Amino acid sequence: AANIIRELKGMCQGVHIMAIGWEKKVPAVLDAAGL
């Protein structure tokens, strides 16, 4: 997920992450994406 976010970062104004049941993983994904 972090790779996709990094690739799209320059093409859009934001991302929406639906982490149903994986909410505890969101901070790690955002850190890995550089957000």
Predicted TM-score (pTM) of the model is: 0.72
pLDDT at 32 over 90: yes
Residue showing tokens 């850190």: 31
Query: Average pLDDT in the 8-33 region?
Result: 92
Predicted confidence band at 25 (pLDDT cuts at 50, 70, 90)? Answer: very high
Tell me the pLDDT tens digit for each residue of 11-23: 999 889 899 999 9
pLDDT, residue 27, reads: 95
Give residue 34's Cα distance to chain centre: 9
Helix %, strand %, coil % for the chain, to 5?
Answer: 50, 0, 50
Identify the pLDDT of residue 15.
Answer: 87
Count of domains for the chain: 1
* Domain carrying residue 26: 2-33
Q: How far is 14 from 32, CA to CA, in rounded Å?
A: 16
Residues 31, 23, 12, CA angle at the centre, nearest 5°? Answer: 55
Q: What is the mean pLDDT of the chain?
A: 92
* Both tokens assigned to 3: 């790779």
